[in-house]
Amino acid sequence: MRNLLIFFAAFGVLGLIVLGLQYVPLIGFVAMYLGGPLWLGTLLHLALLAMLVLALIGWLPRPVLILPLVVWLAGVSTWAYASRAAGQQALALKTSIPLAAKPREILLRGDYQVATDLVADYEFDAVYAEFHRHQLAKGSTDCTPLPHHDPRRLISSPPKLRARGECVISHRIDAPPGNLIEVARLQSEAPASANGGETVPLKITLQEGGQEKSWRVKLGTVQVPGPVIFPIVGFFYGSREGQRGKIAEMWRLDYPLVPDANNDNPNEARARFIAQTLGVSRR
């Protein structure tokens, strides 16, 4: 019992030090910016790890072993269950619209950031967004920046493209051509679930035979609890009025409701959803 009291006292003092750093002049701003809850949460997991090791070597009572194991098992189970539910929700939102042929060019409205990922990852010849035409280029000749900056020819070469010796070149244009399939991002709707996230409706419009056809599909995200990956204590520390919602985000993971998009960043996930909806294959 004596060793157990020493253990909790030591980590309690460390926790108070982390909390107190926020009120020290000069370094207090840095401590608050980085987040006391983050450090307190990290300290919690270090304490659980130390408790496990010390119980195994006999410095702490053996029954203490159950505490860190229960906390971590509960955290992993919560994450696994929530991720599985999010995956099922993603499949429910999956939509494929009936097109006579796979489009080679499309026009984006309201979500221009995904144009590069659409061209880089999927079999589009060109993606138009506002006043630019985005096309995939290969080789050092095309992907080498000009000696002087040219605002009418912008080059994007993220790591995934550099590894393939490719880049996306965005050419400035006066206006996109007509009769393209148009994908327009509309105003966000209510949260996708009680856990947070958002639902963004997309309107897909096609001119066919002089008539306009349109479909409305939904792209969403959900926040999946990740208490083992991110600190748990941050939620309780931020439980003061007006703080709980913000601090809670520190231990939730944004999960895109798009099949197979688990490791995608937000732009890649939206690009994947648009390509899947239009039936365009991945490069």
Look at residue 148 and tell me if it is in a domain.
yes
Please indicate, yes or no, whether residues 6 and 69 belong to a single structural domain of this protein. yes
Interhelix angle 66-93/36-56, rounded to 10 degrees, is: 130
Q: Which among 59, 78, 97 is the end of a domain?
A: 78
Domain contains 61: yes
Cβ partners under 8 Å of residue 241, min gap 6: none
Are residues 74 and 6 part of one domain?
Answer: yes
Q: How many CA atoms lie within 13 A of 257 on its CB side?
A: 27
Rounded Cα distance between 171 and 152, Å, is: 6
More confidently predicted of 261 and 31: 261
At which of 78, 109, 142 does a domain end?
78
Most confident of 12-21, 157-166, 228-237: 157-166
Q: How many domains does the chain have?
A: 2
pLDDT at 126: 95
- 168 in a structural domain: yes
| Segment 196-212, tens digit of pLDDT | 677 788 899 988 777 88
Of 94 and 159, the one with more pLDDT:
159
Residue 73 is assigned to a structural domain of this protein: yes
Sign of CA dihedral 244, 247, 250, 254: positive
Q: Which residue has the higher pLDDT, 67 or 140?
A: 67
- Averaged over 248-264, what is the pLDDT? 75
Whether 159 is in a domain gets the answer yes
Residue 28 has pLDDT above 90, yes or no: no
- Residue where a domain terminates, one of 46, 78, 110: 78
Structural domain including 164 reads 132-172
Examine the pLDDT at 182 and tell me if it is beyond 90.
yes
pLDDT digits (tens, 9 = 90+) for 98-154: 888 889 999 998 878 899 999 999 999 999 988 899 999 988 778 888 788 888 888
Q: Model-level pTM greater than 0.75?
A: no
What's the whole-number mean pLDDT along residues 150-171? 88
Helix (H) / strand (E) element for 213: namely strand 211-225
On whether residue 163 sits in a domain, the answer given is yes
217 within a domain of the structure (yes/no) = no
More confident residue, 262 or 1: 262
pLDDT reported for residue 163: 87
Alpha-helix residue ranges (DSSP H) falling in the chain? 2-20, 27-34, 36-56, 66-93, 115-121, 139-143, 159-162, 233-237, 244-248, 266-278
Does the residue 21 lie in any domain? yes
Where residue 84 falls among pLDDT bands split at 50, 70, 90? confident
* CA dihedral for 53, 57, 59, 60, sign (positive or negative): positive
